[in-house]
Structure 1
Amino acid sequence: MKFTRRSLLGTAAACLSAGPASFAFSQDAWPSRPIRLISPYGAGGANDISARILAEYLGKNLGQQVVVENKPGAGTRLANELVAHAPGDGYTVLYAAAPYATAEALYGKQKFDTRKDLQPVALVAMAPLFLVVNAHSGFKTAQDLIAHGKTKPSGLDIGSPGAGSQPNLAAELMLRDAGIRGVIVHFRGDAPAYAELLAGRVDATLTAITTALPHIQAGKLRVLGVASTTRSALYPDAPPLREQGLPSVVASGWYGFMVPGTTPQPVVDRLQAATAKALAAPDIKQKLLAQGLEPSGSSAAEFRKFIDDESRKWGELIAKAGIKGE
């Protein structure tokens, strides 16, 4: 058969026109098998439980099972690396957490490019930190606590669940805003920090409300304020710390969905839409609130900006304070 220049150009044009249609069809087929949702923490915590709440809803909405896999370790870095190196086919999703934004500042360059190898899908939930003190301390407001710190030669003693944790960083912000000295005492988790606070050996701690609530309800701990821009639905009685002379003290744990950087945009868009639908469901909202999480929701671009802002804010503080990750 003899090929003319016109026939070859026609064949090429046909191939090009068929390519995008074929690509679109492959994306329309997503998901055609179960999706792995990687949780960077062990079973039982707020990250794991909320991941399972959302996985069930997303599975029904997307028509495929969403299976939660726990990959704890190295301050969430193991899970982050696993998903960053996974195929970008939409079948491996990271349920990212707040340490994602501070990892490079605390530990140095990661084993993947945090800007390119993982891309944001949607911010899912926030867990604002609350400033709590021993209920028998006499402190009724954050200003009472600060005034006490000014009278002590060493300043305030503030308990933290670990170096580089969100409570640690929030405590640094509080001391800087208040213009007072202080010692941040690191423990391995919230429980030992509470034990020292209840024993009167530290003055305060910043914490998620869910873990502190049993002590608050028992009348052993008192909430002085919340490190957020507005009052929290989780504990509406707590006024924002920024309204108590601590304007920079805004700090929360957070969770959100991310996927490998090579994941096609149509898949990202569909997952983001399914997430928004889940977070709008009243029963999902209530279940998340019960875990101490405020449902959030965002576009992929908004989540990207949020991560960039968090990385910049905490990175500068970590450098100034000389904080090292454990």
Structure 2
Amino acid sequence: MKINRRTLLGAAAASLCAGAVPRAFAQDDWPSRPVKIVSPYGAGGPNDISARLLGDYLARQLGQPFIVENKTGAGTRVGNNFVAKAPADGYTLLYAAAPYSTLEALYGDLGYDPRKDLQPVAMAATVPLFLVVNAETPVKSAQELVAYGKSQENGLTFGSPGYGSLPHLAVELLLRDAGVKGVTVHYRGDVAAYTDLVAGRIDATLTAITAALPHIQSGRLRVIGVASKSQSEIYPQAPTLQSQDLPNVVAAGWYGFMAPGGVPAPIVARLDSEINRGLKEPDMRKTLLAQGMEPQPGSAAEFSQFISAEMSKWGDVIKKAGIKGQ
């Protein structure tokens, strides 16, 4: 049988078109089965709670279950790495957290490239850090805390929920910006730090406010500032640290959705749109704020720019402070 060149070209073109149909159909049909959301933290914490809240919303909007799976360990590296190596089909998402932007500077090789192997989809929320002191001290502002530190031979003593954590890095930034000496005492979580702060064994802590509220409301701890560019909806009576002669002290935990690199743009765009719509709903906002999280609607491009800026900022702090991952 003789097959001419035109027949061969036609068959090749038909084959290419046929191969393109399933991929296009898969994008148009997404999601056609359950979607996995990987939380790099254990159940019950703010990352897990907000992941489930937003997952339930997406399930209602998109007609498929969005199932949260907790993959903990190595300071979120286990969960991050799992999603980085997942198929780029939109059925595995990462509910990333602030350590994402510090891990490379702390540890070097992560087993995945945080700039290429995962792509930002939509930011969800930030968790502002508040500067808190013992209410029995006369310190009522950040300026007074800095002045007190400069009067002490060893400077200030801060508590943090862990070495290399964002509050630890924020303390290093504050000390550098204030030009004051200081020591950071690392605890396993915030509760032990609050105990020592109430007892007067440390001078201050930078912390998410939710867990500290009982001590604040009882009058044992005092909030003297927030490390945000504007006053927080969560605790609006706290002035910004920027307004208290600490112009560079802006720090917050954050959560947001990421996908494996290479997930088709239409899927990313649809997720981005739905997540942002959900974050603007009054009930969603109210629930997140009650959990100590400020909703942060924004585009995938804006989230990408934010992560890039955070990696640069905290990488510089880590390098200058000589902090190494443990």
Same fold (TM over 0.5): yes
Q: Distance in 1 between matches of 2:33 and 2:115?
A: 28
Q: Distance in 2 between matches of 1:302 and 1:18?
A: 36
Q: Note the 1:117-156 alignment, pairs <5 A.
A: 117-156=117-156
- Could you tell me whether the CA contact under 8 Å between 1:163 and 1:324 is conserved in 2? no
Q: What count of residue pairs does the alignment treat as equivalent?
A: 326
Q: Distance in 1 between matches of 2:149 and 2:299?
A: 42
Q: Which runs of 5+ in 2 are unaligned?
A: none
Q: Which runs of 5+ in 1 are unaligned?
A: none
User: How much has 1:15 moved relative to structure 2?
Assistant: 4.1
Query: Residue 104 of structure 2 aligns with which residue?
Result: 104
Q: Note the 1:230-245 alignment, pairs <5 A.
A: 230-245=230-245
Q: Distance in 1 between matches of 2:18 and 2:298?
A: 34
Query: Residue 29 of structure 1 aligns with which residue?
Result: 29
Query: Residue 217 of structure 1 aligns with which residue?
Result: 217
Q: Distance in 1 between matches of 2:277 and 2:187?
A: 39
Q: Residue 281 in 1 paired to residue 281 in 2?
A: yes
3-state SS of the aligned residue for 1:210? Answer: coil
Q: Distance in 1 between matches of 2:52 and 2:322?
A: 37
User: How much has 1:309 moved relative to structure 2?
Assistant: 0.6
Q: Distance in 2 between matches of 1:89 and 1:110?
A: 23
Q: Distance in 1 between matches of 2:38 and 2:4?
A: 54
TM norm structure 2: 0.97
Deviations 1:229-262 (A, max 9, x none): 0001011001110110001100000000011113
CA root-mean-square deviation = 1.3
Q: Note the 1:29-68 alignment, pairs <5 A.
A: 29-68=29-68
Query: Residue 180 of structure 2 aligns with which residue?
Result: 180
Query: Residue 93 of structure 2 aligns with which residue?
Result: 93
4+ residue runs over 6 A deviation = none
User: How much has 1:62 moved relative to structure 2?
Assistant: 1.1
Which amino acid is 2:278 matched to?
A: A
Deviations 1:186-219 (A, max 9, x none): 1111011101100001100000011111111111
Q: Distance in 2 between matches of 1:70 and 1:301?
A: 27
Q: Distance in 2 between matches of 1:266 and 1:115?
A: 20
Which amino acid is 2:28 matched to?
A: D
Which amino acid is 1:313 matched to?
A: K
Which amino acid is 1:273 matched to?
A: S
User: How much has 1:9 moved relative to structure 2?
Assistant: 3.3
3-state SS of the aligned residue for 2:158? Answer: strand
Using the TM superposition, name which of 212-221 and 258-267 deviates more: 258-267
Deviations 1:154-206 (A, max 9, x none): 00011111111111111111111111111111111101110110000110000
Q: Distance in 2 between matches of 1:245 and 1:90?
A: 45
Query: Residue 4 of structure 1 aligns with which residue?
Result: 4
Query: Residue 76 of structure 1 aligns with which residue?
Result: 76
User: How much has 1:17 moved relative to structure 2?
Assistant: 4.5
Q: Distance in 2 between matches of 1:164 and 1:11?
A: 59
User: How much has 1:284 moved relative to structure 2?
Assistant: 0.8
Which amino acid is 1:76 matched to?
A: T
Q: Distance in 2 between matches of 1:149 and 1:11?
A: 79
Query: Residue 266 of structure 1 aligns with which residue?
Result: 266
Query: Residue 159 of structure 1 aligns with which residue?
Result: 159
User: How much has 1:118 moved relative to structure 2?
Assistant: 0.8
3-state SS of the aligned residue for 1:61? Answer: helix
Q: Distance in 2 between matches of 1:21 and 1:69?
A: 32
Which amino acid is 2:60 matched to?
A: K
